[in-house]
A = this chain, B = another copy of it.
Amino acid sequence: MSGFELSCPVPLPTEERILLAHGGGGRLMHELIERVFLAAFRDPALEARHDGAALEVDGVRLAFTTDSYVVRPLFFPGGTIGELAVNGTVNDLAMCGARPLYLSAGFILEEGLPLETLRRVIEAMRQAAQRAGVRLVTGDTKVVDQGHGDGIFINTAGIGLIESPLAIGPQRVAPGDAVLVSGDLGAHGVAILSVREGLEFESPILSDTAPLWEPVEALLRAGIEVHCLRDLTRGGLASALNEIAQARGLVISLEEAAIPVSEPVKGACEILGLDPLYVANEGRFVAFLPASQAERAIEILRSVPVSSGAARIGSVLEEAPGAVVLRSRVGGRRVVDMLSGEQLPRIC
């Protein structure tokens, strides 16, 4: 929260109502979090604005995180709400530099849901947990009356063990850092939207949902001095980088030509009117680390299948105030802002 003043937040007018955009990962969501949640709970762990909380319990360093999943439809090319619910929380732990260990799962089921649908989702969760090497150890089930839910909502929370002595988080991002991305962007959002819009592509675009601890562990084991990690979910690359740039009062400069986007995703984004920089991913992250280690870090990432498409996409500059700027293919320079709402509701 460096650079923000929480002691006297501007109150939102009381007649305001929640909009879909409050859940979209953009500016409205961040305002809601600042003004309602952070203002009430005021906790250093919350104010670190990380993907999870880094805690010390009896001398052991833990990461703790939670996410709810309300994606629609429940089944989409490349995955289900079940994989998302496991991988999303596993990845938030990984972004804290923590080895994912334990998950909880809370289900809110809508009356009338076919049991077979639930079984398929549970099976996807089981496989995803196995792949990610986490144990699902505690859970809860609630049922709401028909018309007051939407099939299945899942919340997962996770506990991870921080083994590395590095303090990984937005507070460590520094001028001179290289900005790396772990692979091509936009597949998850496009996969979801193509189902909703009934679009069919020659080769279907699959969600990138995947666990990300393996590449993070590889970086840490190799002694890379990772400063900050962030997975690129709701709001995509643009929102994740804006959050960090604004929190730290630094400029993040990106090279458009270096940002990996696959041809099918590029084409689909053009048809659908989406900007891949803002589209959600469920198996991609950015890493901030000293520029001198960037080349080696990319080599390490590329040796792990899930991050085989890793690339350096930019740098952190000394300039203020906090912003993300993009040097376009033709050489122009434009500000990449945070969206005020969202491109796609219920993407995760």
Contacts and interface: CB of A to CB of B under 8 A. Distances in A.
A107 B119 CA distance: 24
A148 interface: yes
Interface residues of A, number: 81
Contacts of A168: none
Contacts of A23: 109, 141-144
Copies of this protein chain in the complex: 2
Contacts of A145: 20, 345-346
A146 to B, nearest CB: 9
A102 B138 contact: no
Interface in A10-69: 12, 14-24, 29, 32-33, 36-37, 40-41, 43, 45-46, 52-53, 55, 57-60, 62, 64-69
Q: Is the interface of A mostly helix, strand, loop or mixed?
A: mixed
A64 B104 contact: yes
Contacts of A59: 60
A62 to B, nearest CB: 7
B46 A126 contact: no
Interface of A: 12, 14-24, 29, 32-33, 36-37, 40-41, 43, 45-46, 52-53, 55, 57-60, 62, 64-70, 101-102, 104-116, 118-119, 122-123, 125-126, 129, 135-145, 147-150, 153, 155, 157, 159, 161, 345-346
